Amino acid sequence: MRYISQITRNSVAMILAGGRGSRLRQLTDWRAKPAMPFGGKFRIIDFPLSNCVNSGIRRIGIATQYKAQSLISHIQHGWGFLDGRFDEFVELLPAQQRIEETWYQGTADAVYQNIDILRVYNPDYVLILGGDHVYKMDYGKLLADHVEKAAEMTIACHDVPLETASGLGIMSVDDEWRVNGFEEKPSVPTAMPGQPGHALASMGIYVFNAAFLFEQLIHDHDDEQSSHDFGKDMIPYLVPRGRVFAHRFVHSCVNMASGVPYWRDVGTIDAYWEANLDLTRITPDLNLYDKDWPIWTHQEQLPPAKFIFDDDDRRGQALDTMVSGGCIISGSTVRRSLLFSNVQVRSYSSIEDSVILPNVDIGRNVRLRRVVVDKNCIIPPGLMAGFDPEQDRERFYVTENGVTLITPEMLGQKIHYVR
C-alpha cells in the first residue's frame, strides 16, 4: 500500500540522470544510461519517476548532462501528464552553468548548481535519487522514517553479500540505525552486526531537510579539497557532525515476489541481459503487472504483436518470451527472449536467450543465442552470433560471461538519428 501524506506533498525529488554508464560499452555511445530501454517498453529512468508519482511526489527535477537528447525526448513524450495547475511537474535541469561556468563536477555539484531552482520550489524535504537503477520503492515510507527519527539526512540502504560490497558505499549503524561510519568503496567492507556475510550498502537514495541540504551544499562547494560527490565527500563529512540515519529498503520496497527486495544496477552488459531475461520467467523477481504500483512510460501507438506461418518448415512462435507491440514473428522460433517494440524476425530464423531492442529487423536464416541487439540494427540474412565467442569477437563485443553485444556500427550501418 502506498504511503501518501502531507510530507510527500511538501517534498521535491531531484533525479541525477547525467551519467554515461560506461560499463554498458557501446550501448551508451549515443545515450545516457538512464535512457536505456528496459523491460520491453520502458526506460530505466521510468522506475524512479514512477516511484515518485506513485508515492505522491509530483514535483520532480531531472539533472541531465551526458548525451541527453534521447532522455529529453522520452521525458517530453512520456511525462507531460502532470498538471501544473496543481503544482505538479517533471522539469529537465541540464547543466546550464547557472552558478559557475563548469559542467556538473559530481553528484553533489549537480544539486548545488540547481540550488536556486530548488529554493524557488520551497520544499520541506529534498529527495535525491539516481536515475540509473531498476526497483520499486515507496518513497513516502522513506520520508516518514526520516521525519519520525528527526533526521537531518537519511540514506536508503540494502543488504549485500560481503564479497560484492567493495564497489559500494558501506555504512555502519548503532542500535537506533543512526549512521556512525561510512566508507565509499572500501577495500575491506565492514560486516553488518549479527550478519557476518553481509554489509549495509548505500542505494544512492538520500532524504535531506531542505535548509540543511542547502547549507551543506554551500559548505561542500567552498571546500577546494572536495570532489563534490555525496558518497566520497558529503556523507563522510556529515556522519560525525549531523543526524544521519539509515533506512532499510526492506521496509519500503514494493512487491517482493521472492521475499527479497528487488534492486538492480543494470550497469554492465551481463547485468542488463540477465535482468531483462529474468522478466520472461514464470514468476520474475520484478512484477511489471502490478496495477497498484504501475510503471509509467511513453506509450507508442503500435499494432499488436503478430505471429505468422504455421508450416512444418517454418512456424512463427515465441516460447517463454515477452513480445512487445509492433513485432512480427514470421515463420521463426523465439525462445526465452525479450523483444522490444517493432522487432521483425523473418522466416527460418532462431532466437534464444536474447534481448532485442526496438526497431530491429532480423533477416532470414539468422541464428542468435545469448545476444543483446541494439536499437535499429538490421541483421543480415544468415548471420550467426552467440555460438562461437572467438568468432564473435572479430566483429562484436563479447562479455566475460559470453553475452554478445551487436550494434549498428559493428554491422557497418551508419547512424543518421539520435537515440
As given in the structure block, the three cell numbers for residue 320 are 517463454
How many C-beta atoms surround the C-beta of residue 98 within 10 A? 13
- Distance separating alpha carbons of residues 332 and 307, to the nearest angstrom: 9
Beta-strand pair 153-161/198-209:
antiparallel
Give the model's confidence band at 97: pLDDT under 50 very low, under 70 low, under 90 confident, else very high.
low
Taken in order 334, 317, 306, 286, the sign of the CA dihedral is: negative
Whether the pLDDT of residue 418 is over 60: the answer is no
Q: Select the more confidently predicted residue: 212 or 163.
A: 212
Helices and strands: H and E segment counts in the chain: 10, 29
What is the pLDDT averaged over residues 2-29? 83
Which residue has 522466416 as its cell numbers? Answer: 347
The one-letter code for the residue type at 286 is L
pLDDT of residue 259: 73
Residue 337 in contact with residue 353, Cβ under 8 Å? yes
- Exposure string of 264-277, with b = 16+ CB inside 10 Å and e = fewer, is bbbbbbbbbbebbb
As given in the structure block, the three cell numbers for residue 166 are 567493495
pLDDT of residue 3: 59
Question: DSSP of 52-107, one letter per residue?
Answer: HHHHT--EEEEEE-TT-HHHHHHHHHHS--S-GGGT-EEEEEE---SSSSS---SH
CA distances from 204 to 76, 125, 128, 263, 403 (A): 25, 16, 8, 12, 28
The one-letter code for the residue type at 300 is E
- Distance separating alpha carbons of residues 226 and 216, to the nearest angstrom: 12
Q: List, for residues 315-373, the tens digit of each pLDDT value.
A: 999 999 999 999 999 999 999 999 999 999 999 999 999 999 999 999 999 999 999 99
Contacts of 221 (CB under 8 A, 6+ apart): 109, 112, 228
Task: Identify the structural domains of the chain with CATH numbers, from first to last.
Answer: 6-278 (3.90.550.10), 306-406 (2.160.10.10)
Q: Select the more confidently predicted residue: 136 or 81.
A: 136
- Distance separating alpha carbons of residues 337 and 351, to the nearest angstrom: 7
